[in-house]
Amino acid sequence: MIRGALLAALCTVSVVGGTARAEVQLFAPETLSAWVDVRAVSADGEPSWRTAYGDNVEQGGFGKLRYGHETKFDLAQAAINWKPRLADTVTAYVLAQYTPGSLTDFGVSEAYIKWKPVPASDLRWSVRFGQMFPPVSMEHDGPGWSVSRTITPSAINSWIGEEVLVDGLELTVRKTVLGQDLALTGAVFTGNDTAGTILSWRGWALHDVASDRSSRLPLPSGDRQGWYRLFGDYQAPFTTPMAEVDGHVGDYLRLDWRPPAPVAFNLEYYANHADPQAVRHIQWGWDTTFWNLGVQAKPAPRTEILAQYMKGRTGTGWPVGNGLWAVDTDYDAAYLLASQSLGAAKLSGRIDYFAVKDNSKRPVDDNTDKGCAATVAYIRPVGDHLDLAVEAMNVRSNHPARVIHALAAHQSQAQLQIALKLHL
């Protein structure tokens, strides 16, 4: 269904592009950008969730940060962003990235076409279709779906980067009414049937590793883990965020409101409508929904405040009574971020809260997760093509499943990163 809609949209854009007779720009300085991000890192506490227990990256764990129990220099990311113009009102967007240390180091994170017709009135609209992150994050407003105020995004938007990547057809309509800017965005999508897997079995995390089409995220390792005790070899030791398991179509709807004041609000509802009992390629469907509320304010010309709150539910497996699934969790998270511009530099601070509540089979598979984090970051350009960022983080969390690996359920971890980002 969705693929047919995307094909029809492509044909429509081709016709519109031909009618516009615009100069096509495929490869020009303004259509190509690239960057390399290298870091010096020092982190204590438990190892990263990506490489926690052994040299095999598939042996994941419960670490809350990108790094853990290590001091090193690291190539964090190398990326190319291609934004060709296909017509006056039609553009494309492709982001390819290399992220060492992942199960799949290289992949395409986003690849979509956008059609934004010239408005004939104060009603404005645009269409996106292809592979994309839904418009949830308020932090990822930098080039190539990157954050611009810190190195590490909040727990909410780290999870969006992990598990909420879709093949979608999205429509946005905007209008100004009595001095208030209103926008309504709606989309249908396929894929993303496994969203909720890593959030339930690992818990929340804070890091800047975004998934791509071929990504595989490692589950906590060991045959004593709840996921293995419940599903055994019928669940892979990793999750693939863009898996299509049941053929159902998901959707999301977002409302933006900007009154005539230095503040803006957004409210979004997401549902993937996955079948919790569907299995394909040892990946289960997870029926995942969430509400997300966002607020952005500028109380002073050089001061910015961001806040988000997310609340949702996810489940998979088989019915166990009382409307619950074999794995059934409620989750919520929030953050408050303040950023101050200091000339060309930015100084930002953020506090995070996050929690997962396990609703079923806790004696076998306890997915309880609760914690908080504090982040301070300083970012400034040090040349026309080079940015410097320094970030310190501390996270405290309680995750009972850690005891399976002879770890204390309560963990505290600090991480310091110094990043140099070279723009090519």
Instruction: Report all structural domains of the chain as residue ranges with CATH numbers, in order of start.
Output: 2-423 (2.40.160.10)
Closest by Cα among 358, 350, 360, 352 to 399? 358
Given a cut of 80, is residue 11 above it in pLDDT? no
Average pLDDT score over the chain: 91
What pLDDT score was predicted for residue 59? Answer: 63
State how far the Cα of 164 lies from the Cα of 166, in Å rounded to an integer.
Answer: 6
pLDDT for 191 beyond 60: yes
Task: Calculate Rg over the CA atoms of the chain.
Answer: 21
What percentage of the chain exceeds 90 in pLDDT?
A: 83
Residues 6+ apart with CB under 8 A from 219: 60, 197, 198, 201, 202, 225, 227, 235, 237, 238, 239
Where is pLDDT greater, at 56 or 266? 266
pLDDT of 153 over the 60 cut: yes
Quick one: DSSP state of residue 264?
A: E
- The secondary structure element, H or E, covering residue 358 is strand 345-358
Nearest Cα residue to 272 out of 314, 308, 240: 314
Q: What is the pLDDT of residue 14?
A: 43
Non-local CB neighbours of 196 within 8 Å, separated by 6+ positions: 163, 286, 287, 288, 314, 315, 316, 329
- Which pLDDT tens digit goes with each residue over 197-214? 999 999 999 999 999 999
Section 23-40 average pLDDT: 93
* Mean of pLDDT values over 401-418: 93
SS3 content of the chain, % helix, strand, coil (to 5): 10, 50, 35
- CA-nearest of 345, 343, 424 to 385 is 424
For residue 405, the model assigns a pLDDT of 79
